[in-house]
Amino acid sequence: MEVNGIVLSPDPRLRQECAPIEEITPQIEQLAQRMKDEMFANGGCGLAAPQIGELVQLVVIDVSYTSREDYDPFVLINPVIVEQSDTLAPSSEGCLSIPGISCEIERPDRVVVEAYDLDANLMRYEAEGDLFCVCLQHEIDHLHGMTMFERLKPAQRVHAMCQYQEALARGAKPGDTE
């Protein structure tokens, strides 16, 4: 199921392991551009390729834009978490693929991520205790078939899935969080 170009849970495409990108072709560049456009159109701060139905390891993130003028997402190709803290911190997360709800999820509060950019430079991103830190982990999860639901404890998961069903029934759209 797709709404406004975004694949919605429980679409099976969100539960697949995505393929690493072996070559940065014009098609990959176009995909990155499409993802930037879809993320902006839906008001997201991060988007992973499977969320628009492409099962490859590509992510775009911009946690700080306020308008089209300052919108300039990072493009992460084959991102890998190379370091993470043992300390966990909870935060409230939303997902364009799970509109209408937010979930409290505990994750490491510091990560270091390595990824290639569109010029095939190996980039290193360090984040601690902020939205960027959460977003990096949330989007990388998408590349391995994990959504917010899989990060919740079983009791929380049932509750969140019920809330989500109600949100869908109300007509929640990508970008709605509640």
Task: Give CA torsion, residues 49, 50, 54, 56, to 10 deg.
Answer: 70
Contact predicate 14/29, CB 8 Å: no
CB of 128 to Zn ion, least distance (A): 21
Of 33, 39, 171, nearest to 95 (Cα)? 39
The rounded distance, in Å, linking the Cα atoms of 110 and 118 is 25
User: Which span (61-69, 87-95, 108-116, 156-164) binds Zn ion, by CB under 5 A?
Assistant: 87-95
- Of residues 139, 150, 166, 178, which has the active-site annotation? 139
Closer residue to Zn ion, CB minimum distance, 95 or 152:
95
Tell me which DSSP letter residue 38 carries. Answer: H
Structure tokens at 158: 């049932």
Give yes or no for residue 47 binding Zn ion (CB under 5 A). Answer: no
Output the CA torsion sign for 33, 34, 35, 39: positive
Residues 133-162 that bind Zn ion (CB under 5 A): none
Closer residue to Zn ion, CB minimum distance, 95 or 127:
95
- Which residue, judged by CB position, is nearest to Zn ion in the bound state? 95
Give yes or no for residue 31 binding Zn ion (CB under 5 A). Answer: no
Closer residue to Zn ion, CB minimum distance, 77 or 95:
95
CB of 138 to Zn ion, least distance (A): 5
Closer residue to Zn ion, CB minimum distance, 28 or 135:
135
CB of 15 to Zn ion, least distance (A): 13
The reply to whether 139 belongs to the active site is: yes
Give yes or no for residue 95 binding Zn ion (CB under 5 A). Answer: yes
Of 67, 13, 78, 11, nearest to 43 (Cα)? 67
Contact predicate 94/177, CB 8 Å: yes
Binding site for Zn ion (CB under 5 A): 95
Report the catalytic residues: 139
